[in-house]
Structure 1
Amino acid sequence: MNGTNRKLLSLLLLLALAAATAACKDNREEGKEPVGQATPSTSSTTALAESPSPLAASPVKEESASATVVPPTVSPTDKQAAKGSNRKTELDEYLEQGYQVEAKHVFIHDFEGIGKLTITPVTINSVGEGLPPFYLIASMNGVEYQIMKPEGEDSYPMLSSFEAIAFADIDPHSLKSGYTDIIVIADFITGAGREGTVPFSKAFIFKNDSWGNFLEDKELEHRIAHSATTRTLTVKQVLKLAEPVDINRFRGTYTREGSSEYQAGTITIKRITDSQVSFSFDGHHVNGGEEGLKLGNVNLGNLENAEASITESGQSAIYRDEEYGYEMIFYFYSDGTFEIVEDGGPVYGHNVTAEGIYKKDR
């Protein structure tokens, strides 16, 4: 075979080898997806659907305080974490005790210095000792922020209805004006007597302390309860009753309601400054009724030139006797009367007390 034939044969062999290689490559790539298209992955994780809220059936409303009724929600991650750690929320515990969520009174409100909080009231009708009629659960982004409840009473009458919750600056004239407070109106029944089933209202005030907390204002609640002239209350009435009283007009001699020759109390307010109320108190109590009066069996009590310190609210004053651990609290009311509440003691003769409502002598 000459050189020319050998070259031709080599060329033919190279062409045949290239054709075979191309055919193998086509067979290997048959069925492969085109470049640029992603195939679904069986291992990919789909987004978890958010679990429906227990309050999802509650109506969605908007009110003048720019609050919207919405169900409080917890993220799936939080729910999984809680499930994994068997952690119960406060709401879970209250529901187990028999409390029920007041779905139509669940609101979101943007509080100054705090942010948006979901306020969820839970209520119970029983009158068990030490069991408050309601809790307010404040939460932010599904996390409990603060729990509020009425304080200071061992027991309450039976709750008839949770009437209203509102958000307003209830004391715009105070040093802490400009911060939104929480107002609750609940109706109760005693279940006894002729009017045992007739509801009566109690107002509960949780003040924004401007430091990110809500504190119950028992003094203001006391003043509202005394000044109310109707059995039930509205939010508008509560705001009116909460208006400040000018205590500078409380000068002169006042006698306790129900005073008689057998027991009496008299308070003379001599001077009022920005920080002090100067007063005197005279009281007596007869032991043994008419016979005791004849025998002169009379116990006395008095304070002379006493000074009571005006509280931060400007609506009350407190006299303290540190030696006896005694306090006399003045509550001033818009109708021109004031009330004395005592704590500690005794500092007077047997059965002598200063407690009661005082009206100015004519």
Structure 2
Amino acid sequence: MSLRGDGPIEELAVPSGTTVEEHDLVTDGDVLVGGQSTVEFGLRGRNVAIGERVSVENDIEAEGDCRLDTWCSVDGNVLVGEDAYLGERVTVTGRLMVSGDLDIGDDVSIEEGFEANGWIVIRNPVPTLVFYFIVLSQLLRVGETDAADELAAALADGDDVRDPLLIPRSAEISDDAWRVSTPAAVGDDCRLHGNLRAESIRVGERNEVFGSLRAREGITVGAETIIHGDVTTRGGTVTVEADARVLGDVSAGDLVVHDGAEIDGTLRARGEMRLVQETAEEQATEGSDEGDRKNDSERDEDEETTDDADSNAESDDDEDAESDGAMTESDDDAAAADEKSEADEMRADAEAT
């Protein structure tokens, strides 16, 4: 994935579990920063790839590889768990510590020195990490998502594939504000500091954002998320999902508030304002399902009762047939006895005569 030019990073994407800790932006996955961006936080992630002319105003810690493209500046230390790649005219005000190999370009300034446990090559590198990004971006461009997933899984060395932290070109990320000209998406269980400014914003569930949200288009605040600030959009729709809380004002074109959400400030909507009572709908759905299950149970019981009745009727018919047969045999015996009695009387009369 080339981080030059417009690049394939088309949105600010904050993966689930990302936090801001002591002025560091911490995530479990990779960190990709587009060119000409300013990041006032330190960066801590698995692999860290920084585009050209990016300024990082704190330390960088990468568990895997780290790439700093041309004209990058880091106001702090750079700690790399595997291999490091530094382009031309990179400036590091602190110390560079690399556990693996170090590829370094021309006119690089590392003010407090560097140390690498592997090979040190002085050149303008094009590392394997960047080649992987380029191939992956091309697969996504042509719609080969399955092939891209297989490539990502194969290059993850058997580890679970985690969503990366994506910072688009010309972004400004600081403790005061996160400003991008693209859409922004925040995952679940994140803790962020700063006002978020983007084209559109979607915040996932169980997040806490210490700042306001402002977008030209729609804004969605996920369930159980807390926003310590205002939520404002020019003409889009603001959606506040169940059990979310906004500690400020909400201003939107259209406003959708789910049952259980709390908004401490003023509500302003130039268009439609709608309350969604999800709990009642879910109860009705559950009641309908229970009713269907009950009707099915009653239907099964009725069928069993009918089968029992038919079985009993067949049994009664068999008993009646046996009874009729027994009665017929009894009648035949009685008739034979009468005939024998008459014959004996006639014989007795003949002897008497």
The bucket for the TM-score relative to the shorter chain is under 0.3
Q: Which has the larger Rg?
A: 2
TM-score normalised according to structure 1 size: 0.18
Higher RCO, Cα 8 Å, sep 6+: 2
Higher helix share: 2
TM-score normalised according to structure 2 size: 0.19
